[in-house]
Amino acid sequence: MSDVKNEWPLWEVFVRSKQGLEHKHCGSLHAADAQQALQMARDVYTRRMEGVSIWVVPSATITASEPEDKAEFFEPASDKIYRHPTFYEIPDEVGHM
């Protein structure tokens, strides 16, 4: 059986524990297809009835940024002042914003 599992694709599992909260990555598992991945994720990651929603995503389809690209992706451009909150005038009627 372990040989078959090694041939199955790897799935990343995300569980939302309460209504209104975000899904959090809780682990990975091997499964033949999405439906089996959902069933296995339910059995492995929500045994105590703590989950309200499960996402399974094939690991091969996830694209992530690289740590060396941090500046390019996450630091705001200093030449685009319209992205800074000081660029906008807030009317007095808005109050304590």
Mean pLDDT of 41-60: 91
Quote the number of domains for the chain: 1
CB–CB of 37/29 below 8 Å? yes
Chain segment 35-44, per-residue pLDDT in tens: 999 999 999 9
Nearest to 28, CA basis, from 50, 47, 5, 48: 5
H-state helical runs in 1-97: 2-7, 34-45, 70-74
Mean pLDDT of 73-97: 73
CATH code of residue 29: 3.10.20.520
Report pLDDT for 70. 82
| Residues ≥6 apart with Cβ < 8 Å to 10 | 28, 29, 30, 58, 59, 60
Confidence of residue 19 (pLDDT cuts 50, 70, 90): confident
Element at 62 (helix H, strand E) = none
pLDDT at 31 over 80: yes
CB–CB of 30/21 below 8 Å? no
Which domain does 57 fall in, by range?
Answer: 2-94
